[in-house]
Structure 1
Amino acid sequence: MKKQKLTIIGLIIVVVAVIVGFAWVKTSKAQRYVQSTTPTLFFHGGGSSYHAEEHMVNAAKRAGVTNTVIRANVDPNGKVTLSGSMTKHSINPIVEVNYENNRQLDYSQHGRWAANVVKLLQKRYGIKQVKMVGHSLGNISIIYYELQNAQKKSMPKVVKQVDIAGHFAGLNFSQVPASIRQPAGLKLDSKTGKPNQMNATYQEMTKLRQVLPKNQVQVLNIYGDIGGQTDGTVPNVSSLSLKYLIASRAKSYREVKITGKQARHSKLHSNAKVDRALINFLWSK
């Protein structure tokens, strides 16, 4: 009987130790990151869906950044439906944005859709600011949200943004409209990042240099180079043209080059180096 009691006591001690250990690890992880109610919105690329965001989101969850992830589905008419559990007090909540029309090349529409998501979050949870992450075409949602809303005091402001594999100066595909096609012989000024040629869409984006509030947003521009100064889909010159659009107004602007096989355009959103870079930038104390 005595031996049995000792066994039970031993098991209780082990269980308590495990529980305390898990609690300590959770607390330790949380202490690494800001404890904020500001949501972070993830925007996927063209022809894709929220599934492309899941690797980065899950990396953030594993790191202890947050336990709150919801989804914002945007139908082709721009109507937003939220799914998942979130409150006004959720810490570092993440919103996976999903566009049903994932091949929309009207960039202004991307800005309106992003605003619809933000407005619904504002109405439901009272948010005052946001962080945003975009991959490929998803970057356009960030840029056009800023173009269309940066001067509106009623709209939540973007305080941090991560741009991954952005094609700001254009795509070098012959089948895309001229307004978003990358000009031949594109080069950037070594100091300012200003392109020597601009398509119509990039010219419109340059309005950011006037409308973006000074010293508000911190920007991390991540791009891949598998060799030949390209990620295999977007030339580095197009990704790096973000500097001219935003650096002179941003609170901070930093570029990170990812190399190797996992630096390919379609692999960057599932790259461990990208995960670490964006987690540190968005949430580390």
Structure 2
Amino acid sequence: MMKKYLKLWLLMLVPLCLTACSVSSTKKDTSDRLKTHQTAKKPKFQDPVTLYFHGLMGSYKNERPIVEAAKKAGVTNSVIRANVNDQGKVKLIGKIKKNAKNSIVMVTYKDNVQPNFSRNGTYASNVVKTLQKKYDIRKVNMIGYSLGNVSIIYYQLQNGNRQKMPRLVKQVNIAGHFNGAYFKELPPGFREPKGMKIDKNGKPNKMNATYKQMLKVRPIYEKHPVQVLNVIGDVGNGGDGVVKNISSQSLKYLVAGKNYQELKITGVKSDHGSLPNNDQVEAAVVKFLWK
């Protein structure tokens, strides 16, 4: 009789043991999956990712000289591209690796003659959001050439006070037309005001419509200071052939004059179109951003 009960007890015990083992195995599998998921988190980069915005009718090809200078100097080992279509949708070309050092993103706008400065800011914001979603970036640097400079200003206007957006750390502005250029064909809102002068703080005595819009960025720079390098060219007439120096120098007032430095290029390749391909400019940008 005792053997009969013992056998019955063993028969009941085996399924329980199997169930326990199964639960334990399931928990282990779940735990392993969680660990795998946790280790597959987005990489977090200590170095700010640097975005480069081209000028009017430009593309990433115009950004190559400074990018190649950075690679040659050994300050970066990661370069990708970001293409932005007319609707502002971003496509990343290439991948930022986990061991990336001072990654650079060469940005191309399909609509590279966009006269709506706010729209340029939206394009820039979309690139940053895409990078943030994929790589969890927390800080950015930005380089702007000519029309590309307004992408930086309007990124700040749209995001400078937003805690959830990556903070701008350093910016390089090359050949910026912040208070207009001196072409008669330009609409009044983009044209440099006649008789314009600037004071020691870079504040213009006369402002066009777009500069007045950009003035709203000044309190943001006061609250969140950014290191700024402003590169201007002088072919001998107080301008680079497209933009007068005082228009470029009016950036100082927009960024509240904090952590602001200026580099004036003269002589060979000091004209508007040649500045991004100037050896002196390339060296200065590399030193300012990464050394």
Moved more, 114-123 or 192-201: 192-201
TM-score scaled by length of structure 2: 0.82
Secondary structure of 2:170's match?
strand
Residue 88 of structure 1 contacts residue 126 of structure 1 at CA under 8 Å; is this kept in 2? no
Moved more, 104-113 or 215-224: 215-224
Residue 151 of structure 1 contacts residue 213 of structure 1 at CA under 8 Å; is this kept in 2? no
Cα deviation per residue 1:101-138 (whole Å; 9 max; x = unaligned)?
11001000010000000000000000011000001000
Cα deviation per residue 1:243-284 (whole Å; 9 max; x = unaligned)?
111134x3x100000011211110000000001101010000
Cα distance, 1:88 vs structure 2: 4.5
Amino acid in structure 1 at the alignment position of 2:215: T
Residue 159 of structure 1 pairs with residue 169 of structure 2: yes
Residue 144 of structure 1 pairs with residue 154 of structure 2: yes
Runs (4+) off by over 6 Å: none
Residue 224 of structure 1 contacts residue 258 of structure 1 at CA under 8 Å; is this kept in 2? yes
Residue 48 of structure 1 contacts residue 102 of structure 1 at CA under 8 Å; is this kept in 2? yes
Moved more, 273-282 or 86-95: 86-95
Counterpart of 1:281 in structure 2 is 288
| Aligned positions of 1:122-141 closer than 5 A | 122-141=132-151
Counterpart of 2:91 in structure 1 is 81
Counterpart of 2:72 in structure 1 is 62
Secondary structure of 1:203's match?
helix
Residue 160 of structure 2 contacts residue 224 of structure 2 at CA under 8 Å; is this kept in 1? no
Inter-partner Cα distance in structure 2 for 1:179 and 1:266: 23
| Aligned positions of 1:239-250 closer than 5 A | 239-248=248-257, 250=258
Inter-partner Cα distance in structure 2 for 1:195 and 1:216: 21
Cα distance, 1:200 vs structure 2: 1.0
Residue 205 of structure 1 pairs with residue 205 of structure 2: no
Residue 136 of structure 1 contacts residue 167 of structure 1 at CA under 8 Å; is this kept in 2? yes
Inter-partner Cα distance in structure 2 for 1:215 and 1:138: 21
Secondary structure of 1:265's match?
coil
Residue 150 of structure 1 contacts residue 213 of structure 1 at CA under 8 Å; is this kept in 2? no
Counterpart of 1:255 in structure 2 is 262
Counterpart of 2:122 in structure 1 is 112
Inter-partner Cα distance in structure 2 for 1:202 and 1:247: 14
Residue among 235, 260, 279 paired with 1:226 = 235
Residue 169 of structure 1 pairs with residue 187 of structure 2: no
Instruction: Label 1:88 to 1:121 Cα distance change in 2 as closer, same or farther (>3 A).
Output: farther
Cα distance, 1:213 vs structure 2: 4.8
Residue among 49, 55, 60 paired with 1:45 = 55
Cα distance, 1:211 vs structure 2: 2.5
Amino acid in structure 2 at the alignment position of 1:261: V
Inter-partner Cα distance in structure 2 for 1:54 and 1:64: 15
Inter-partner Cα distance in structure 1 for 2:208 and 2:269: 30
Inter-partner Cα distance in structure 2 for 1:235 and 1:105: 20
Cα deviation per residue 1:213-265 (whole Å; 9 max; x = unaligned)?
535310000000010111111111110000111134x3x10000001121111
* Sequence identity (%): 53
Secondary structure of 1:101's match?
coil
Secondary structure of 2:149's match?
helix
Residue among 272, 275, 280 paired with 1:268 = 275
Inter-partner Cα distance in structure 2 for 1:148 and 1:127: 18
Inter-partner Cα distance in structure 2 for 1:133 and 1:77: 23
Inter-partner Cα distance in structure 1 for 2:156 and 2:203: 19
- Is the radius of gyration larger for structure 1 or structure 2? 2
TM-score scaled by length of structure 1: 0.84
Q: Number of aligned pairs?
A: 247
